Structure formats: structure tokens, C-alpha cells
Amino acid sequence: MHIINCKQFKIEDVEEIFRLTDKQVANKFIYTATRKIMASLFYEPSTRTRFSFETAMYKLGGNVISTENAMQFSSHTKGEVLEDTIQVVSRYADVIVLRHPMRDAAAKARDYSRVPVINAGDGDEHPTQGLLDVYTIRRALGDIIDKKIVLVGDLKYSRTIHSLIILLNLYSNLTIHLVSPESLLLPKEYKDLFKKTNKAVEWRSLRECLKNSKPDVIYMTRLQKERFVSEDKEALHEAYLSCYLGPEEFNMSGDAIIMHPLPRNDEISPYVDSSKRALYLTDQIDNGLAIRTAILYKIFSK
Ligand code: NCD
């Protein structure tokens, strides 16, 4: 089983992963990965994703070989292409967890690997983040169906948003509010995935959105400056101020849970952090570990 993108999932697959995750949350880790090796091959910075995968592997009794900065410390600097690296690493490891900035990096790796590949974020998607986000919403609110979900920030480049949108559209009767500057709109290829039963509403400002809706979830993202191609960073930062969740916006947000994939820059005021509704430093972290443990469990219990 490879995990390449969220388009590969049917709702039954997602629910199966969630059932396995419930068991991890109940702390019933079973040593299914004894003597197995996970290679974590990260060509981009990461704290949570890499640590949670590695922690998950250890919890299942397995071992980890790791390069945290493969752009600099792997044979990439000597001109090796990803295809060759994957062929070699898949002769050492039993599973490869790959983070890479390129579009389709995970799919390419799958084509050259002898062992399962898990996409830990590439130029398109971040499927395990999408899964942990939907799982977090489900645990906090009981269900996904009928919910009003506000997605805020860099909807163009945020791969966590792309994966989340795909997974949310496996469910019905959702209203998804899209709040972003004009130049960071959700790309058409993701808008086209909206189910007929789900409604998309676009806003340029979070405050306007909150004045006109009563959301269940507010999902914040940072500006993905490192992915900008020709965008004017300063102009965008200016436009981005209307996506800020400060004390006033927070107090307008009713009972909504507040989420963020992290790292946060300056899009959420620290004022929000101590609220029980803020899940980005708590539930999302715990659920990320549980989801990744469940995925590795599924791979190794086969
Ligand atoms: C995200 C990523 O790398 O895409 N971080 C993460 O894995 N939790 C979000 C981001 O970098 O903004």
C-alpha cells in the first residue's frame, strides 16, 4: 500500500484508517514493525511530520534511518536524481516516507520503489496531514457531514489545503468558505472536485466571512513564500492581513474549532492559543501521531 495522494482514497478507505487510528488513540499499539526499517527521506524542512512518523515507527517496535535535509546531505548534492535514490533506499528500507518540493514527487518515487512509499508532502499534496485534519474535525465535532468549514490563507500553494479539500469532498452537505487574497485563490483543479451537494463560498476577508456565517471549523494556513513563482511577496503580505485571526475575529467566531497545520507565522494571534477551541498545538499533534501509527500498522500487519 502506497500513500501518494488523497485522490486515491474512497470514503471506506478513510474510515478504515480512522478505525485503526481510534485504536492507536486508545493506546493499543501493537508491535507490528519489529525488525522493520523506515527510511525518512526529507528534501524539505519538517518538524512535526518527520518526528511523528519516526515516533510512530518506534512505537510499533521498528527502526528508522533518516536524512532530515536530503537536499544538502544526500547524494542529491552530487547530482543524483530521485529515481536512483529511491531505487537504492528501497533496498535498505521496508517503507519510505518522502518529503519533496516537486509536483508528482511521490508518484515518481512509487514507480521506482520496491517498498511502500508514503508522501509526507510534495508539490501537490500532503495526504497524511489531510487525514489527520479530517480525523481531528470528526473527533472534535462528532461528524463531518453538514459542517461549515472556513479555509483561510494561501489556498493556492498550501498542499495541506489541497489534500483537505479532496477528503472533505468525500462527505456531503458541507459549506466550505474559502478566504484568501485574490492572487492566492484555490486552483481550479481543486475547485472542480467539489461535490454537487457541497457549497463553496469565496471571501477576501476573514472578518467579512465571520460576519456572514457561523462556522464549525476555521482552518488557518501561512503564506507559502518558498513556493511563490512570480508573486510580489510584499503586496501579498499586505493582502494577507485580511486573513488574520486576531482577538476580534476570534471573538466573532462563536464555537468554531481553530486549526492550523503549523508552522504558524503571524496569522493567528497568541491570544487564541489558550482557548479550548484551539486545536493546533494539541489535538492535531496527537492525532497526527495516531494517524501515522495507524498507517504504518496497516502496512506492516499485511
Ligand atoms: C505543512 C507543510 O509542510 O505543508 N506543515 C506540516 O507538514 N504540518 C504546512 C506548511 O508548511 O505551511
Q: Dump pLDDT digits (tens) for 130-175.
A: 999 999 999 999 999 999 999 999 999 999 999 999 999 999 999 9
Q: What is the mean pLDDT of residues 20-28?
A: 82
99 by DSSP, 3-state: which? strand
The atom number, within ligand 1, closest to the CA of 159 reads 4
In this prediction, residues 52-77 reach a mean pLDDT of: 87
Average pLDDT, the chain: 94
244/266 Cα distance (integer angstroms):
8
Q: How far apart are CA 134 and CA 284, in angstroms?
A: 10
How far, in Å, CA of 186 to CA of 92, rounded?
A: 39
Catalytic residue list: 48-49, 78, 99, 126
For residue 159 and ligand 1, the question of a CB distance below 6 A is answered with: yes
Cα of 124 from ligand 1 centre, angstroms: 12
Q: Give me the pLDDT at residue 232, please.
A: 78
Indicate which atom in ligand 1 lies nearest the CA of residue 154. Answer: 12
- Give the CA angle between residues 89, 298, 135 to the nearest 5°: 110
- Decide: 162 in ligand 1 pocket, CB within 6 A: no
pLDDT in tens, 169-200: 999 999 999 999 998 999 999 999 999 999 99
CA of 194 to the centre of ligand 1 (A): 23
Q: Which residue reads 519516526 in cell numbers?
A: 54
Q: What is the DSSP letter of 153?
A: S
Lowest mean pLDDT among 68-77, 97-106, 142-151, 159-168: 68-77
Q: What is the pLDDT of residue 293?
A: 96
163 close to ligand 1 (CB < 6 Angstrom): no
CA 46 to ligand 1 centroid distance, Å: 8
Asked whether 126 lines ligand 1 (CB < 6 A), one says yes
Alpha helices of the chain — where are they, by DSSP H? 11-25, 48-59, 70-73, 82-89, 105-112, 127-141, 159-168, 188-191, 206-212, 233-240, 247-251, 283-300
Residues with Cβ within 8 Å of residue 16, at least 6 apart in sequence: 298
Cα 210–chain centre separation: 24
Q: What is the pTM of this model?
A: 0.96
CA distances from 81 to 68, 74, 120, 227, 251 (A): 17, 11, 19, 21, 50
Q: Is 222 in the pocket of ligand 1 (CB under 6 A)?
A: yes
pLDDT digits (tens, 9 = 90+) for 200-235: 999 999 999 999 999 999 999 999 988 888 877 777
Query: Could you tell me if the CB of 49 is within 6 A of ligand 1?
Result: yes
Residue 113: pLDDT band (50, 70, 90) is very high
* CB proximity list for 80: less than 8 A, separation 6 or greater: 74
What does the pLDDT read at residue 71? Answer: 78
Could you tell me if 97 and 38 are in contact, meaning their C-beta atoms sit under 8 angstroms apart? yes
CB 57 within 8 A of CB 63: yes
d(CA 301, CA 22): 16
| Alpha-carbon gap, residue 242 to 207, rounded angstroms | 7
Do the beta carbons of residue 62 and residue 12 sit within 8 Å? no
3-state class of 196 per DSSP?
coil
Task: Give the pLDDT mean for 231-260.
Answer: 90
Task: Find cell 528508522 and name the residue.
Answer: 64
Q: How confident is the model at residue 291 (pLDDT cuts 50, 70, 90)?
A: very high
Compute the 3-state secondary structure of the chain and give helix, strand, coil in percent, each to the nearest 5.
Answer: 45, 15, 40
**Distance from C-alpha of 227 to C-alpha of 168, rounded to nearest angstrom:** 24
- Whole-number Å distance, alpha carbon 160 to ligand 1 midpoint, is 7
Q: What is the pLDDT of residue 109?
A: 97
Give the distance (Å) from ligand 1 centre to CA of residue 172.
26
In ligand 1, which atom is closest to the CA atom of 261? 8
Please tell me the distance from the alpha carbon of residue 75 to that of residue 96, in angstroms, as a whole number: 16
Residue among 161, 160, 211, 212 nearest 185 (CA): 161
Q: Which of 5, 40, 49 to mutate to test the pocket of ligand 1 (most atoms within 8 A of CB)?
A: 49
Determine the residue type at 101. P
